[in-house]
Amino acid sequence: MKFDIKLLNDVVLDYDNPDKIYALARQYDKLEQGSGAHSFYLRAADMSPGKTFEEKWLQYKCMILSSMIYQRNENRNQSVQGLLKIAIATLPNRPEAYYFMAKLKRDQEDYREAIMYAQIGMQFEGQEYLDNDVGYPGDNALKVLYARCRWKTDGRDDSKNLAFDLKYKNKLNKKDEKAVNALLAEHGYPSTLAYDPSLFGQYKFKFDGQEDIKTNYSRHFQDMFVLSVLDGKRDGTFIEIGSGHPELFNNTLLLERDFGWRGINIDSSERFAHIFSRHRKTNMIHADAAGTDYGTVFKQQCLEQHIDFLRINCEYASIEALKNIPFAKHEFGIIQFQHNATWWGDQFRKESREILQKIGYILLVSDVAVDNTQNYEDWWVHPMHANRKQNMKSSNKINFAWDYMMENVK
């Protein structure tokens, strides 16, 4: 880049014009003449009256661009911070200076300070730009920065959800998408993917009553899948073996609470059984899943021949529980079996598939996964539902739950 002599002459002839002085500073900056650029940035900021937004915008840019000059030189962080703070004081309702301050703090591994500045900046997203001379990469980049720093400080699902929501609930440019993918690869996906009613339009398999759902409780849409297969059926029946907590990550609470289902829950944890009996309407049975006589239990509970939903998730007892189910006397509309193949290998997956295929159940969604690799359960249906719901059958070997249930953001 050649130096523009005409621009220099314009400044000499009109030395009180802050816009021309700013243009000259930009030219020195692009030529990597830092000291000259810095002095003219300060001169332009000082000459601007700072009364209108446009005048303050010029001052604001000058402070940010001057801070970048210092940042290119090592060990000048105090000067960088001072200039960025002046920028923030000039236009405190703009996101750019907060982004660059958060980025500086992240580079210094001062993640809590970075979170503070990023969080403030995120309050001012979606603003229009007169120009983008400072090179602000956009509001999504600010959110990615915030998510990364949150992960560095707490390492919990909250921070994972920030990155996940950016990837799957927003339209990103290629640079932001690359950054989000790198962040998810580093810390992994959230352990729970909650249904968000604001994303109703993205949900692939809509059902009656879905518009009234405020939240679900399963980790990966297990409850929503049941309702999709059964078209939002009300007053259905379920059996959950390995029911766990009555509310947290529970697969039948939505069915019971919002759709009037009833059933039985079986768990070996005495603590969960006590909590369950206090918080749920359906029956809780405290028992060892592997040693339970399910034929007798079903008879005592007066269960009908057809049961809408059977879920088995009781760790190493799961396969024994499956073997003990009286399939000759009862049929199930939907069966979800957690085989944990990604952690335990193929033994339980292979044996459970042999059992269910032999008696005629259809594997509608195989190897449901917490992300694109970690597969842990199969979703089966009775042939009558398989014939009705061909649109829900997946041919993918591994089915990341979100990709299976939700459309991508256009």
- The tens digit of pLDDT for each residue in 22-53 reads 988 998 899 889 998 999 999 999 999 999 99
Query: pTM to 2 decimals?
Result: 0.85
Least confident of 69-73, 284-288, 397-401: 69-73
CA distance 94 to 82: 17
Q: How confident is the model at residue 12 (pLDDT cuts 50, 70, 90)?
A: low
Lay out the sheet containing 375-381: strands in order across. 283-286, 262-267, 237-241, 306-312, 331-338, 375-381, 362-369, 399-400
Q: Average pLDDT for residues 3-22, to the nearest whole number?
A: 75
Each residue's pLDDT tens digit, 300-337: 999 999 999 999 999 999 999 999 999 999 999 999 99
Residue 306 pairs with which residues in a beta bridge? Answer: 331
The whole-chain average pLDDT of the chain stands at 93
Q: How confident is the model at residue 140 (pLDDT cuts 50, 70, 90)?
A: very high
Superfamily of domain 5-187: Tetratricopeptide repeat domain (1.25.40.10)
Q: How confident is the model at residue 400 (pLDDT cuts 50, 70, 90)?
A: very high
Let me know if the fold of 5-187 is the same as that of 197-405.
no
Assigned token pair, 282: 């359906």
Place of tokens 């007798």: 296
Each residue's pLDDT tens digit, 233-276: 999 999 999 999 999 999 999 999 999 999 999 999 999 999 99
Where along the chain do its domains lie?
5-187, 197-405
Sequence-distant (6+) residues with CB within 8 A of 180 are: 144, 147, 163, 166, 167, 172
- CATH number for 197-405 (one of 3.40.50.12640, 3.40.50.300, 3.40.50.620, 3.40.50.150): it is 3.40.50.150
CA distance 22 to 184: 41
- Above 80 in pLDDT, residue 344? yes
Q: Annotate the chain with three-state secondary structure.
A: CCCCHHHHHHHHHCCCCHHHHHHHHHHHHHCCCHHHHHHHHHHHHHHCCCCCHHHHHHHHHHHHHHHHHHHCCCCCHHHHHHHHHHHHHHCCCCCHHHHHHHHHHHHCCCHHHHHHHHHHHHCCCCCCCCCCCCCCCCHHHHHHHHHHHHHHHHCCHHHHHHHHHHHHHCCCCHHHHHHHHHHHHHHCCCCCCCCCHHHHHHECCCCCCHHHCCCCCCCCCHHHHHHHHCCCCCCCEEEEECCCCCCCCCCCHHHHHHHCCEEEEEECCHHHHHHHHHHCCCEEEECCHHHCCHHHHHHHCCCCCEEEEEEECCHHHHHHHHHHCCCCCCEEEEEEEECCHHHHCCHHHHHHHHHHHHCCCEEEEEEEECCCCCEEEEEEECHHHHHHCHHHCCCCCCEEHHHHHECCCC
Residue 303 pairs with which residues in a beta bridge? Answer: none
Is residue 51 classed exposed, middle or buried when 0-12, 13-18 and 19+ CB atoms within 10 A define those classes?
exposed
CB atoms within 10 A of CB 287: 16
Each residue's pLDDT tens digit, 148-161: 999 999 877 888 99
CA distance 103 to 136: 11
